[in-house]
Structure 1
Amino acid sequence: MKKRKMCSLGVAFSGVLCAALLGACSQDGETAGASDENVVVESSSESEASTETAPNVETSAPAQTESETETAPVSGTASVLGTAVSDVTVEQPSENIQGTIHPEKLSNGAVAYVYVPDNSSYGLRATAAPILVVYGNTPYTSASALETAYSSGLASIADLEQGAVVFVNPVGETWGEDDLTSLEAAKNLFSDSTNNEQKISNYTQYGKSDAAAYPGSYTRLYVFGEGTGADFVYQSLSAGVDGSGQFFGNAVFKPTAALLMNPSSEESVDLTQLDGREIPVALINASEAVVSSYEALNQTTETLVLTSDVSQGFDADIVTEAYDQVMEHYMVRVQSSVGVEDCQTSLLRIGGNEELGLTETKNDYEFSDGSVLTYYQWVDGDENQPLVLAFHGSGSSAENLVWSSGFNDLAASEGFNLVSFENYSNENLDNAKIMEAVDHIIAETASDFTKVYVSGFSMGSMRTWALASQYSDRFAGAIAMNGFNSGMEEGAEFKTSVPFYAIGGKESYLAAFFEFPGADNYVQEAALFKVNNVSDNFVFDETAGVWGMEPAETYTITAEDLPDLTVEVSLFADSDGNVMTAFASASSAGHEPLRSATADGWNFVSQFSRNSDGSLSVDGEN
């Protein structure tokens, strides 16, 4: 049953928050526009201005409603198209929140202004930081964008999230058809990739990485509209706009979540006309037509209806409250499938650390040779709990994997410590180094060393296979999602039996095991079956189930996050009838982690523990 949540300023949000679906798939790290040397930047809070060249900006600007030289920040920097700004006071939220504004030319021809916080941690969380996109009532100048960043509370959000804010202008004087691609164009200023060729590490004073991209994840594309900008988001963007896919094909671009301040539209819009995916939304001083249109879209979720005395600009208190309670809790998941022309997406709710009772910290472990392994950990403070290690896929991130797989929710509900490693492949960290860090983490988190489990997705699944085979006597179980161990050579041996749960999507464009028929491609399964005493002589039978192997038992689970998808789990027993091996396949699933499969995998491996002598126990029994 759909609900409408009525709130006024100062009233806390409560109840089940909006859930939604959105599309936000496009190529990472793309930049738009040509470089122009005729742009200068004045550094305020200095007695003399210093000038730098801003990239990707042309000297022709869209129509503006304010003079570019009217205002400038006291703290931070404003830059304009070809003009140095002069001093004027801009009120800041606190002396600790400062930032700079940099102009950009979007691929649709519009000018945008990117707010970059002056924060030493800026960019460190690029793979998970949200992209905050603002559509204003009138075109922004560099100075008015900076003032809005401060007065709206968005500067504080960017500072906290270690990301940036994009203030988008219309191509012309008002919002129109030429602006339909602006959301994708704004997104393309950002990259969240951890791949070597797009690695985000060193940021210039313009806030860009060496790959010429600002830090931010397409999975968290949050849109803020005010006045006519709110009307444009409602009337033109919320139904979806065709764009380019993240990995291939086409995609529908929609906000991950939205906040609309003072929309004036009195017209109803069918927001399901192109794409029926929902959008978590906070509507402030909106008409009944706007509210009803979003309620028609959000059939299974709340639409927050808010009131404010602020009639122009953003209400900072409501922006902060809506962001904390609604917007930051959602991310998009790309559903990548073989033979699908379109890049499909779904939306997931991210469990907040506070509501889950977890403390999240980012940590670095430095090895004797100076190399560093970065990891995030989620703990509740209790000692002697199980420990789950997670490895993300290529180009993804530690936090992204945890959110998309639902491991953080499981850590809270099941009571285990969770550690997710960041960028472990790019640092060329071998398995021996990983295990050195694991020993440190076990001690640091006071975890139960008999209940350490390894897991991973895609490239992280390959690492899971490698660790589980090389250090099988150290792990109580393994969960491998959509990936195989390409480095395992024929004749490779596991040291000892290891409980193993492997899953792959049937439609994954990066195949798991069953997409490579023939015994020669099943070396790792053969080794696992042998050590788990399933079969001394592994034989591949193309007719025996989706994995090419006849199971002792099967069961099916429904994916709650994707109701139309089912997961078939095949159990393989050893000669004594014990089951330590489970292979699962997800119908209609592409290359994506599935929360239901993560939970099922945990239920399977968590019954096992690894004793100090290397033997296994099942629920406390040897």
Structure 2
Amino acid sequence: MNKMSGPRSVWRALCVVALSLLMISSGAAVSAQSKAADGVIVQEQLATGNELLVYVPEDPGTGLRARSTPILMVFADRGLTGDEALAMAGSSGLAEIAEAEQGVVAFVNPVGESWTAADTEAIPAALGRFDGYTGQPYDSDGQLCRVSGGEELCRFPGLVARVYLFGDRSGADFVTQHVVPGVTFDADHGRPWTPAAVYLSNPTQPAIAPDVDVEVPAYVVNGSNEVNASLEQLNGRAGLFGTARTKQQDGFHRAALLKGYDRVIEHAIQRRFHSPAQIHTITDFKKAGLRVSHETLEVNGTPMEYFEYAPRRQSGSMPLVLVFHGGSDHAEYIAWAAGWTDLAAEHEFMVVSVDQHGSWSPTDIITLLDHLVAEHPHIDQSRVYATGFSMGAAKTWGLLQEYSDRFAAVAPMGGTSYGPTPLPGEGVVPTIYFAGMESPLAERPHQFGVPNTPDARVAALFTGNGVTDDYTYDSAADPVWGIAADESIDITDGRFPEVSVGVNAYASSDGNTYTALAAVHRAKHETLPTQGEIAWGFLSQFSRAADGDVVIEDGAFDLSALGS
């Protein structure tokens, strides 16, 4: 049955591909069971003349985690019809991935009979059809329509930091020759764009290296030694690279594609707001020994969703870190982007990342905390921490103000607002706050030359923690925070060479240090694993005794531990 929807034609069909046991070069047998591509194909004509065929699973959850969902973009050996795209989605395993990721698969056709450099213009045009707006289910065509600036915009779900390209034969060569070197987007001020990762099936042409230092994670099937080497050399830091060989020399080999996605592709994520792209990794939960679960708790008659990350093997009690994402963001994304899942695996603590927390008050979050403690007796209640970015920072400040006795320490990032007037907590609350030095938002005192919310927040923090009751910004004392530090340290991270974090520590009237302010140089309104690592170095030095007193590990705060 054909359905016409404005300029788009939609095929609804069921493609059942019966597959047998397949062998890949490692000798491991993978059971590729019959898999139905049960969904719709949405067909569109891009302004570039390329045809875009979008496979949408028949799943009511499509789009609910858009800010974490990857954009899967396919360049086949030739142009496809809608029925062919539907069949390929099922036979390749891409439909299965899209359903699991609650996203879609975008097949791009060349303008002519074969791929040319001009077809790279289709990539920004196709990406313009995606949006990471999270929190609402998308319609039956896989799109969310909302009004912006008086205009209705309809977009497919997907995060631009997770654009994964899949190319077969001539489509794979198109990627190595014209995309890996970098695609210029007008929207990106002429700077080269590269994908977060590429999966290449049966390529014949080695990759042309970009002119800039950039990584392109890759998984290559049936590539020559020359092709493999050209892509491996682009992955020196993250190390996200793999190869396989199959007897199948055309099309996507289902077992190899699912294996490549699991081992390499899905672990690549790009840093936001930075060009050329910088890659950091999403935790491999199996290798890291982390248990991951998506949970729901009914609070005031409404389900609160959250994600738990905890070591599978627990040796005694463990700390808990509550994590809160930024506006229109998603719980999984912040856990990955700030490095909390890696840290949980390395230091054996539990992370709980709350989704769409803007709907919940600090009191509701405490209801969740009480539930977690009851459900997981191994949580060390003396070592409960909170952190969040932007809107999540606001939630963290709210917990500090209203329930300071429940947290050993907090680490808000990129935001200082909560309520009409920033207030101190009840008693000392060890706090490290991060501000992006190139953020267009007000993240630090006197950022635009006049007092602002960060001025009031820093003043309240200093009062509550006993640093000073008389904070007034003084650029001569310190150009960023307006007050001289008692100690300071500069921290760098090889993954992001141009970024440095200057941390100022401030002693309280009792002689101890509970307060730190961190300036993230060359960073915009964003969060990086570097910040998570520094935050954990701070948080982990504090616990809260049963009588409410703050305890400093080893008796004294160690600023150098933040850079280790």
Question: Is the alpha carbon distance of 1:489 and 1:302 closer, same or farther for their aligned partners in structure 2, counting shifts above 3 Å?
Answer: closer
Aligned amino acid, residue 404 of structure 1: A
2:163 aligned partner: 221
1:283 aligns with 2:220: yes
CA distance in 1, matches of 2:214, 2:200: 18
Higher relative contact order, structure no. (Cα contacts within 8 Å, ≥ 6 residues apart): 1
- Whether the 8 Å contact between 2:215 and 2:278 is mirrored in structure 1 is no
CA distance in 2, matches of 1:485, 1:556: 26
1:540 aligns with 2:473: yes
1:164 aligns with 2:116: no
- Whether the 8 Å contact between 1:202 and 1:210 is mirrored in structure 2 is no
- Whether the 8 Å contact between 2:50 and 2:109 is mirrored in structure 1 is yes
1:240 aligns with 2:174: no
TM-score (norm 2): 0.87
Question: Is the alpha carbon distance of 1:401 and 1:303 closer, same or farther for their aligned partners in structure 2, counting shifts above 3 Å?
Answer: closer
Structure 1 position 560, deviation (Å): 3.5
1:310 aligned partner: 248
**Aligned with residue 468 of structure 1, among 389, 400, 406:** 400
1:205 aligns with 2:125: no
Provide Cα deviations, 1:236-291, integer angstroms capped at 9, x if missing partner: 1111111154xx745533221111111233xx664213x43111112223345433
1:558 aligns with 2:492: yes
Aligned amino acid, residue 529 of structure 1: F
CA RMSD, aligned part only? 2.6
2:4 aligned partner: 53
2:409 aligned partner: 477
Provide Cα deviations, 1:123-163, integer angstroms capped at 9, x if missing partner: 33322121111101111011111221122121222222222
Question: Is the alpha carbon distance of 1:493 and 1:317 closer, same or farther for their aligned partners in structure 2, counting shifts above 3 Å?
Answer: closer
2:349 aligned partner: 416
3-state SS of paired residue (1:181): helix
Aligned pair count reads 529
Aligned amino acid, residue 357 of structure 1: G
Aligned ranges for residues 68-83 of structure 1 at < 5 Å?
73=13, 75=14
Structure 1 position 421, deviation (Å): 1.5
CA distance in 2, matches of 1:244, 1:224: 24
TM-score (norm 1): 0.79
Greater fraction strand: 2
Unpaired runs of 5+ in structure 2?
20-32, 147-153, 557-564
Question: Is the alpha carbon distance of 1:557 and 1:621 closer, same or farther for their aligned partners in structure 2, counting shifts above 3 Å?
Answer: closer
3-state SS of paired residue (1:335): coil
Aligned ranges for residues 265-276 of structure 1 at < 5 Å?
265=205, 270-273=208-211, 275-276=212-213
Aligned ranges for residues 172-571 of structure 1 at < 5 Å?
172-194=112-134, 200-211=135-146, 212-245=154-187, 249=189, 251-265=191-205, 270-273=208-211, 275-300=212-237, 301=239, 303-335=241-273, 345-368=277-300, 370-381=301-312, 382=314, 384-425=317-358, 427=359, 429-446=360-377, 447-485=379-417, 487-489=419-421, 492-514=423-445, 515-517=447-449, 521=453, 522-545=455-478, 546-571=480-505
Greater fraction helix: 2
Identity of aligned residues (%): 34
Mean Cα deviation higher: 94-103 or 588-597: 94-103
Structure 1 position 572, deviation (Å): 0.3
CA distance in 1, matches of 2:371, 2:18: 46
Structure 1 position 391, deviation (Å): 1.0
Unpaired runs of 5+ in structure 1?
1-41, 43-50, 60-67, 77-88, 195-199, 337-342
- Whether the 8 Å contact between 1:507 and 1:588 is mirrored in structure 2 is yes
Mean Cα deviation higher: 170-179 or 116-125: 116-125
Provide Cα deviations, 1:433-489, integer angstroms capped at 9, x if missing partner: 222222222323332222111101122112212221222121110101121125352
Structure 1 position 117, deviation (Å): 2.0
Mean Cα deviation higher: 404-413 or 415-424: 415-424
CA distance in 2, matches of 1:458, 1:487: 14
